[in-house]
């Protein structure tokens, strides 16, 4: 999916989430876009009319709804265009070249101090940068903070600032409507940053690499052009370094260049003769430093820039919708779940009407409205050989429900859970399992500290069965419930196929 279509989906996503009741973005328009998107898909895929692509449907729906949104609120169009803008690469390279060209690394006196040569600082800075880039994976994984995060954050703030200015001064809307627009834009830029931020950061790195290469190239070009009109003299002086040490330092840095140019590096005696006030024509040293800069700065930076640009382009060309997000699960639920069977098995606990309703709604959003949800009566203590009375050609989803107030026993709860896992894992048509621990009723009878102890006890118990439980309480938000349920399906690959 290309970035333009992706931005339309993210925009509609943001606007709908910030206006669930449809006060400003009417429910009629949203619902009207769905059959139109479905018809468009079927007409474009007439060779396989029974095939339904979720991404295609979401894209076609967003295409129609975005047109309505941007027609009524031009600021949304401006915001989307901001996410598509790219800093012109030629401008960055030209500015870097000019900056390097007008930076005279030698000075008006035409005297080069080999130990105080600005190109030496430039080379060292780039070598430190490469070292940091090599260590960055370790540092980032330890700190969990991407050092290039500021790029996408900065772009998000800039885009939001421009959009808010547009809303406040150019959109003639009510205060409530303006508040919704700003909230939608805030969500849009944050979602865009989280979903496409890595590609944006790669583009930023590419620009920085091109800038560094252009700066070094500009310095080299300016140095040579000035060399035609002025004579540069080379020497060195130092408070702390002796001749041998100066020779060794420069030999290490300039050795690759001397090999490429086919010239012998000056001896220790030659270096001693260059100690101030001694000097010599600097042409040889300029050649050595120019080649060194090409080898250490220009060529590697161009390579890194091309690599980052190609990687960013690949990520942008392969954008995938996060269809496991609650928003998309609710949107696609009417088109999912045909022929799918859901068994809800409370073990030694009773589900009140509110809990049963919320769990059923969660199952329909997660697995699709076409699925058949069966909430069974409570299973008696000690019954560990429950068999799934479902035809094997039907995909199966199972919710096992325990009460957090119950003490988990390996011989009882463990055997029951192991039995269900065995059936789900071997189910011919594919199966998945969600373990739910009810915590609401127990919290009413005790304090938070006691609840945390019971929660930890169940977590230790379920760890032995390689399944992560979902702790359900009446206070959990619907979106959070849906998100946790999707992420805690067993086996883990079931999270990808639902």
Q: What is the pLDDT of residues 266-325, one digit of tens each?
A: 899 999 999 988 888 888 998 998 999 999 999 999 999 999 999 999 998 888 899 989
| Burial degree of 489 (CB within 10 A; 0-12, 13-18, 19+) | buried
Q: Per the structure block, which two tokens stand in for 202? A: 């790669």
Strand partners, 341: 372, 396
Confidence of residue 67 (pLDDT cuts 50, 70, 90): very high
Which ranges constitute the DSSP H helices of 276-352?
283-293, 299-317, 326-332
C-alpha 372/C-alpha 356 separation (Å) is 14
Quote the pTM value: 0.77
Q: What is the pLDDT of residues 16-38, one digit of tens each?
A: 999 998 899 888 888 876 766 66
Model confidence at 53: pLDDT above 70: yes
Q: 497 and 374 in contact (C-beta within 8 Å)?
A: no
Q: What is the pLDDT of residues 371-426, one digit of tens each?
A: 999 999 999 998 888 899 888 999 999 999 999 999 999 999 999 999 999 999 99
Rounded mean pLDDT of 109-135?
Answer: 83
Model confidence at 479: pLDDT above 90: yes
Of all residues in the chain, what percent carry a pLDDT higher than 70?
Answer: 86
Domains and CATH numbers, the chain: 3-72 (no CATH), 89-317 (no CATH), 329-497 (3.40.50)
Rounded mean pLDDT of 44-48?
Answer: 50
DSSP state of 431: E
Q: How many residues are recorded in the chain? A: 498
Rounded mean pLDDT of 104-121?
Answer: 73
Model confidence at 158: pLDDT above 90: no
Q: What is the pLDDT of residues 171-187, one digit of tens each?
A: 567 888 888 988 898 89
H or E segment to which residue 223 belongs:
helix 175-227
Confidence of residue 50 (pLDDT cuts 50, 70, 90): very low
Q: Which DSSP string do the residues of 45-86 spell out, in sequence order?
A: TTTSTT---HHHHHHHHHHHHHHHHHHH-HHHHHHHHHHH--
Q: Is 110 left (phi over 0), alpha (psi -120 to 50) or beta?
A: left
Side-chain half-sphere CA neighbours of 16 within 13 A:
21
Neighbours of 291 (CB within 10 A): 18
Give the sign of the dihedral formed by CA 348, CA 349, CA 351, CA 356: negative
The pLDDT value given to residue 232: 84
Q: What is the pLDDT of residues 250-265, one digit of tens each?
A: 999 999 999 999 888 9
User: If you average pLDDT over every residue of the chain, what do you get?
Assistant: 86
What phi, psi does 438 have (nearest 5°)? -75, 130
Name the least confident of 5-19, 128-142, 211-225, 410-424: 128-142
The set of residues, in sequence order, having a beta carbon less than 8 Å from that of 4 and lying 6+ positions away, is 80, 84
3-state secondary structure of 437: strand
């Amino acid at each position: 999916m290309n970035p333009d279509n992706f931005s339309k989906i993210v925009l509609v996503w943001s606007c709908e989430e910030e206006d669930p009741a449809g006060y400003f973005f009417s429910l009629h328009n949203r619902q009207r876009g769905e059959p139109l998107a479905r018809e468009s898909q079927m007409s474009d895929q007439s060779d396989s009319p029974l095939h339904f692509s979720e991404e295609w449907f979401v894209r076609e729906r967003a295409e129609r709804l975005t047109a309505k949104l941007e027609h009524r609120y031009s600021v949304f169009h401006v915001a989307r265009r901001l996410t598509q803008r790219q800093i012109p690469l030629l401008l960055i390279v030209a500015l870097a070249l000019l900056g390097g060209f007008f930076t005279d690394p030698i000075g008006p006196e035409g005297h080069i101090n080999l130990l105080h040569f600005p190109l030496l600082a430039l080379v060292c800075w780039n070598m430190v940068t490469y070292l940091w880039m090599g260590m960055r994976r370790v540092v980032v994984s330890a700190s969990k903070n991407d050092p290039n995060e500021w790029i996408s954050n900065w772009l998000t703030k800039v885009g939001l600032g421009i959009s808010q200015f547009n809303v406040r001064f150019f959109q003639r809307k009510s205060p409530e409507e303006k508040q919704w627009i700003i909230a939608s834009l805030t969500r849009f830029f944050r979602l865009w940053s989280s979903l496409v931020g890595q590609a944006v950061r790669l583009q930023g790195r590419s620009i920085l690499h091109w800038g560094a290469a252009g700066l070094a190239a500009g310095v080299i070009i300016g140095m040579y052009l000035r060399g035609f009109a002025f004579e540069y003299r080379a020497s060195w002086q130092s408070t702390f370094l002796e001749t041998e040490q100066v020779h060794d330092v420069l030999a290490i840095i300039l050795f690759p260049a001397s090999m490429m140019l086919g010239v012998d590096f000056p001896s220790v005696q030659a270096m001693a003769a260059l100690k101030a006030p001694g000097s010599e024509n600097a042409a040889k040293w300029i050649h050595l430093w120019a080649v060194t800069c090409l080898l250490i700065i220009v060529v590697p930076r161009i390579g890194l820039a091309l690599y980052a640009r190609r990687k960013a382009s690949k990520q942008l060309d392969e954008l995938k919708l996060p269809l496991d997000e609650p928003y998309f699960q609710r949107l696609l639920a009417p088109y999912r779940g045909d022929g799918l069977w859901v068994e809800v098995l409370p073990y030694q606990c009773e589900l009140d009407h509110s809990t049963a309703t919320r769990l059923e709604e969660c199952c329909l959003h997660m697995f699709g409205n076409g699925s058949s949800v069966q909430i069974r009566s409570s299973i008696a203590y000690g019954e560990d050989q429950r068999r799934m009375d479902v035809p094997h050609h039907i995909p199966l989803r199972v919710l096992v429900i325990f009460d957090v107030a119950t003490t988990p026993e390996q011989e009882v709860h463990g055997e029951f859970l192991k039995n269900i896992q065995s059936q789900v894992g071997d189910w011919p048509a594919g199966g998945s399992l969600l373990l739910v621990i009810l915590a609401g009723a127990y919290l009413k009878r005790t304090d938070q500290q006691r609840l945390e102890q019971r929660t930890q006890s169940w977590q230790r118990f379920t760890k032995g069965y390689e399944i992560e439980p979902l702790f359900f309480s009446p206070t959990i938000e619907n979106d959070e419930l849906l998100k946790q349920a999707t992420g805690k399906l067993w086996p883990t690959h079931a999270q990808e196929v639902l």
